[in-house]
């Protein structure tokens, strides 16, 4: 009989996932970590194993999540390693250079493939497996950028927005089956992904802070959370600006 939460993390070496993984280990979860960078992944496994109690399992597999054909195999491996799955956490993603994307359609599509299509593929696969067992949780990281298209960041925004809409539908479909779907919408987070930005001011949060919010939302069975909380109000305003006005704004 399984007595720990079993969590699969996709994109485990991203800063937010890494901070979340540490909290999950603290809470006694067993983890299966999937990441692209083998050395970074092993460093995370070492770190978590030092923190874990004897009964907790920390396993990992190296994979490029852009290769959607490999996803089913990753789920199989996770199920085998953890004796089943309770939670699927989808955290991988890339932040593109918007101007470079504007100049290159292939780059735009590649980004949408990584952030939206591969994440949707994982969520879809997870949904079928969790629905069959009648319980479980799917968590995926969207973005406040997905709430409205803006000239400075609409390729990234579109990919995250697509993911959020898909998750919304999934939540509706899975609600009667005891499966929770949680969409996380972080604002500005100080991570290597945002290394190119000047990170000053009260809007920037640390990955640890966001991770605490994620774990809390998982526990309280939320559907969608903005992290930190004040982004809910910021985005409420931004979503409600009439398009006639919005299209002339520089955001």
Closest CB 251 distance from another protein, rounded Å = 22
Q: Which is nearer to another protein, 200 or 219 (CB)?
A: 200
Closest CB 228 distance from another protein, rounded Å = 13
Q: Which is nearer to another protein, 48 or 217 (CB)?
A: 48
**Edge-to-edge order in the sheet of strand 58-62:** 58-62, 30-35, 6-10, 87-90, 136-141, 179-186, 224-227
Backbone angles phi, psi at 143, to 5 degrees: -165, 155
Q: Which is nearer to another protein, 19 or 218 (CB)?
A: 19
Q: Which is nearer to another protein, 154 or 204 (CB)?
A: 204
Q: Which is nearer to another protein, 35 or 136 (CB)?
A: 35
* Cis peptide upstream of residue 228 (ω within 30 degrees of 0): yes
Q: What tokens does 178 get? A: 């005891």
Could you list the residues that contact another protein (CB under 8 A)? 15, 37, 39-40, 43-44, 46-47, 50-51, 190, 192, 195, 199-201, 204, 206
Write the CA distances from 96 to 24, 110, 154, 187, 190, integer angstroms.
29, 10, 10, 16, 16
Closest CB 18 distance from another protein, rounded Å = 9
Closest CB 94 distance from another protein, rounded Å = 15
123 φ/ψ sector (left φ>0, alpha ψ -120 to 50, else beta): alpha
Closest CB 232 distance from another protein, rounded Å = 21
Backbone angles phi, psi at 182, to 5 degrees: -120, 120
């Amino acid at each position: 009989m399984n007595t720990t939460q079993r969590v699969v993390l996709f994109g485990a070496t991203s800063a937010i996932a890494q901070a979340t993984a540490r909290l999950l280990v603290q809470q006694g979860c067993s983890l299966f970590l999937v990441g692209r960078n083998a050395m970074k992944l092993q460093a995370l496994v070492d770190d978590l194993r030092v923190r874990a109690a004897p009964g907790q399992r920390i396993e990992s597999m190296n994979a490029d999540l852009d290769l959607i054909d490999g996803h089913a195999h990753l789920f199989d491996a996770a199920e085998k390693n953890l004796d089943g799955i309770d939670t699927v956490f989808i955290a991988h993603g890339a932040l593109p250079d918007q101007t470079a994307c504007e100049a290159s359609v292939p780059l735009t599509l590649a980004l949408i493939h990584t952030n939206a299509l591969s994440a949707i593929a994982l969520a879809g696969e997870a949904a079928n497996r969790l629905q069959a067992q009648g319980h479980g949780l799917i968590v995926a990281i969207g973005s406040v950028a997905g709430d409205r298209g803006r000239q400075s960041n609409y390729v990234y925004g579109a990919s995250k927005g697509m993911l959020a809409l898909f998750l919304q539908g999934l939540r509706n479909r899975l609600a009667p089956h005891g499966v929770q779907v949680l969409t996380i919408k972080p604002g500005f987070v100080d991570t290597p992904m945002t290394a190119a930005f000047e990170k000053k001011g009260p809007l920037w949060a640390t990955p640890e802070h966001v991770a605490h919010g994620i774990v809390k939302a998982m526990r309280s069975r939320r559907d969608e959370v903005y992290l930190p909380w004040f982004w809910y109000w910021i985005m409420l305003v931004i979503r409600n600006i009439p398009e006639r006005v919005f299209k002339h704004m520089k955001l």
